[in-house]
Structure 1
């Protein structure tokens, strides 16, 4: 993505800023000394947008010759909170908890219905609620100054729930990669921009009500879905 081409520029700018702050500190500059007297905690509140391919695979042999549904979901959105604790100037740990929603495409459910006898329908309330909890270890490239980029990696567990009468989803977990930047002001507040890649797989079951409620020979069909969403978030935070 183009966004990843911007990150090296941000990192370089942060290194230059950090060097200027360090030089100013040796010269007794007041504003540079501000950044050296900070707390070990950051609290962040972010809104996010996600994109995912989410194409079902691994269908049973009984439906191997039938047309499979395409991507179940393309986009989603939500909010998350995060608390970051600094062990050193550069090394930190972040714990985050989010809640979001993904809308299942009606066209995908129509194709999924053809796996049965075609008499079912997707109904309403075909949203999937996701609640990812993640822990990452971060390296902050330039811990002083106004621009502070970081990279991180860790693990996540994502609870998935839907009220849909057409599908059922299971919870998943896996690694998560992170890259972002904090823009620090002088009043203990900050603006933050963050990109995460969640590696997430789970089971999706297409229910009998979608496949053919009038045919007793048709039962639920289970598949595997690689969600692995790319999550782009922005928000604000506070230093403690």
Structure 2
């Protein structure tokens, strides 16, 4: 009899527990650790290095995002993060592990559709736009030793973003978040060495995988 009462109490507690599902007007704040893994491709660095190409390194950084629930199922998410990457030599420039370094700021706005807004496990998909700013871009010491003092500039980029993820309740207000995005980022890198200009078109197009904790307000 005692064990039956315990089981009934556990069941009642489970029924009474409120999921942290998002409702219209709620604000969700997530803090994630992200891996930014470029799926890069590039043209040659021309005119000086026609048989070359440029690669882009991975980066791991923190990220914060904010979601406003427009309805129980539709949310607008703003993603804020900045990451540092190295441009690496390929082909004729493969001897350079680092041609240049740059910081990347890619604010991204997506519109999400939440598939199971009242569940404890809530998958979602999203699509949106991205504007990427490149800043603090510098030629590497190895490149400057080889060709002389060089300034590097990378054009800002405007593109699309695709997203999929899931929120999993931990408490009524706190949830675990897993998220993956594909972001369209294309830029032209220009190297100015004493007035001689070399440039390369680079498609960075990273996959951004994140895991973190979210809070509902």
TM-score bin, normalised by smaller chain: 0.7 to 0.9
Alignment match of 1:137 (pick from 105, 108, 111)? 111
Q: Which runs of 5+ in 1 are unaligned?
A: 1-23, 114-120
TM-score normalized with structure 2 length: 0.77
State the partner residue of 1:170. 155
Contact 2:102 2:134 in 1 (8 A): yes
State the partner residue of 2:212. 235
1:189–1:232 Cα change, 3 Å: same
CA distance in 1, matches of 2:21, 2:214: 18
CA distance in 2, matches of 1:37, 1:54: 36
Deviation at 1:193, TM superposition (A): 0.7
More strand by share: 2
* Count of residues in Structure 1 that have an aligned counterpart in Structure 2: 193
Whether 1:128 aligns to 2:110 is: no
TM-score normalized with structure 1 length: 0.70
Alignment match of 1:160 (pick from 134, 139, 142)? 134
CA distance in 2, matches of 1:223, 1:37: 45
Deviation at 1:207, TM superposition (A): 3.0
State the partner residue of 1:99. 82
Contact 1:192 1:237 in 2 (8 A): yes
CA distance in 1, matches of 2:81, 2:57: 19
1:110–1:162 Cα change, 3 Å: farther
Q: CA RMSD in A?
A: 3.0
